[in-house]
Amino acid sequence: MNITKQKGTKDIMFKEVNYWQKFESVIKEVCDSHNFSEIRVPTFEATELFSRSVGDGTDIVTKEMYTFKDRGDRSITLRPEFTAGVVRAYVENGLSSRPSPVKLWYAGPVFRYEKMQKGRYREFRQFGVEIFGSSSYLADIESITVAKEILEKLGIYDDLKLKINSIGCKECRAKYIETLREYLKDKIDNMCDDCKVRYEKNIMRIIDCKEDLEVKKEMPMITDYLCEDCKKDFENLQNGLKNLGIEYEIDKKIVRGLDYYNKAVFEFASKDLDLSVGGGGRYDLLVDMLGGAKTPATGFAFGMDRIVLLLEEKGMSIDKRPDIFFIASNGDAYFKASILQNKLRKMGLITDIDICERSFSSQMKYASKINARFVIIIGEDEIKNNIVTIKNLDTGNQFTADFDASVIMKSIEIM
């Protein structure tokens, strides 16, 4: 019996992997240009890290984590998100002693046992940034700007909209939660099962629920209960975005799924389906919660799989084809060709050569199957006259050139 891949995993290859590579290079480029430093944290951590930070009452912790005992009887969890691990690393490595703010970015796989649907996997990939050490709204703007520039470079920014909200601080949120509990008290029995659990454990998540819409029409929203401080911060954020010409809308329904957020939260969602592709916000309490000194922090995380799907749908150009395939008639020709091949590679071309000792015609067929732009033929005649025969596979044009990398480079450019 053949072993097949696990449900919710995928093999990323060929054309699709080109999208991923392009995406990853844009992330790196933009983060570098903003002076963020990459951090690579472990794929697995102590389970407690996630139950304490992401929150006991969240779907992630209650239903979706890949948790197991290792051979040393430790409870281990495959990371379901990055922020907890990055904060753990921040505390453990004493990064607070570095010049503040500390600006980090990451990208890599995360694991959640989720219901399967298009563009959603159990092993999926996220990228994001975290900024430690600034309580200013300017740090929120910095992180939104990074997200915006990445989406712009990928050519999908115009397909998305930025939605922002404030979910208040510890103080105003406590008051709001009281109000919300009071409002829902005589309604909760008629609401969905998930909401009944949320009512006890994580009441703000009720706002996220797609059911019980009737109840929600009149429901008090956190944005209307902000304290003076939070109100001021939220206004500053909005003015900042306006000053930078970044369009946004306020969406009072954004509360984010994780426990550790406070104040500014945001999401990027597709304009047509209103499907969230990523988001983030401030999490001023988390560093402290995980044993560090009190440190304001803000950041975002994007699901990469859904964005790649968007890039594919848009047909983003990821032109990646071999420039030259070398056809060598025999061993001697192969070694001669490989000298030339080396030089052309150093000049930046993508080159390939037959390594199966196949016949001339099968080599030719292979070259056209892999979509090479040119073939360079090196046979007995060519070796004798110190030349090469070049064929443009797009046009069929064929000509000869000196056995010289610079001459070949020039002649394929003019074709």
Q: How far is the CB of 190 from Zn ion (least distance, A)?
A: 10
329 DSSP 8-state letter = S
Q: Which is nearer to Zn ion, 172 or 310 (CB)?
A: 172
Q: Contacts with Zn ion: how many residues (CB under 5 A)?
A: 10
Q: Of these, 29, 32, 211, 332, which contacts Zn ion (CB under 5 A)?
A: 211
Q: Decide whether 209 or 316 has the Cβ nearer to Zn ion.
A: 209
Which C-beta is closer to Zn ion: that of 34 or that of 231?
231
Whichever of 39 and 230 has its CB closer to Zn ion, that residue is 230
Stretch that binds Zn ion, among 11-19, 208-216, 300-308, 375-383 (CB under 5 A): 208-216
Residue 168 is a binding residue for Zn ion (CB under 5 A): yes
Residues in the chain: 415
- Residue from 139, 172, 203, 388 touching Zn ion (CB under 5 A): that is 172
- Give whichever of 192 and 246 is closer to Zn ion, judged by the CB atom: 192
Verify binding: residue 227, Zn ion, rule CB under 5 A.
Answer: yes
Smaller CB distance to Zn ion: residue 212 or 404? 212
- The dihedral through the CA atoms of 282, 284, 285, 290 has a sign that is positive
Q: How far apart are CA 167 and CA 146, in angstroms?
A: 22
Nearer to Zn ion, 62 or 389 (CB): 62
Q: Which stretch binds Zn ion (CB under 5 A): 25-33, 143-151, 220-228, 397-405?
A: 220-228
Of 78-86, 118-126, 168-176, 323-331, the window that binds Zn ion (rule: CB under 5 A) is 168-176
Q: Nearest distance from residue 194's CB to Zn ion, in Å? A: 5
Contact between 376 and Zn ion per CB under 5 A: no
Give the three-class secondary structure for 186: coil
209 counts as binding Zn ion under rule CB under 5 A: yes
Identify the helix (H) or strand (E) that includes residue 181.
Answer: helix 170-184
Q: Does 169 bind Zn ion (CB under 5 A)?
A: yes
Classify residue 120 as exposed, middle or buried by CB count within 10 Å of its CB (0-12, 13-18, 19+): middle
DSSP character at residue 208: G
Contact between 131 and 298 (Cβ < 8 Å): yes
d(CA 350, CA 393): 15
Report which secondary-structure segment, H or E, holds 389: strand 387-392
Task: Answer for the pair 91, 102: CB distance below 8 angstroms, yes or no.
Answer: no
Nearest-angstrom CA–CA distance, 307 and 154: 9
Distance in angstroms between the alpha carbons of the first and the last residue of the chain: 52
**177 contributes a contact to Zn ion by CB under 5 A:** no
Backbone angles phi, psi at 34, to 5 degrees: -100, 10
Instruction: Find the shortest distance in angstroms from Cβ 105 to Zn ion.
Output: 29
Q: How many CA atoms lie within 13 A of 250 on its CB side?
A: 15
**Whether the Cβ atoms of residue 274 and residue 249 lie closer than 8 Å to each other:** no
Place of tokens 């690393």: 89
Phi, psi of 71 (to 5 degrees): -70, -15
Give the span between the Cα atoms of 306 and 313, in whole angstroms: 11
Selected binder of Zn ion within 41, 195, 290, 310 (CB under 5 A) = 195
CB of 256 to Zn ion, least distance (A): 16
Nearer Cβ to Zn ion (86/172): 172
Per CB under 5 A, which region of 80-88, 144-152, 187-195, 245-253 contacts Zn ion?
187-195
In terms of DSSP H, where are the helices of 244-319? 286-289, 304-314
CB 263 within 8 A of CB 222: no
The distance of closest approach from Cβ of residue 36 to Zn ion in the complex, given in angstroms and rounded to an integer, is 28
Answer yes or no whether residue 180 interacts with Zn ion by CB under 5 A: no
Residue 130 CB, shortest distance to Zn ion, in Å, is 22
Looking at the Cβ atoms of 230 and 269, the one nearer to Zn ion is 230
Interaction site with Zn ion (CB under 5 A): 168-169, 172, 192, 195, 209, 211-212, 227, 230
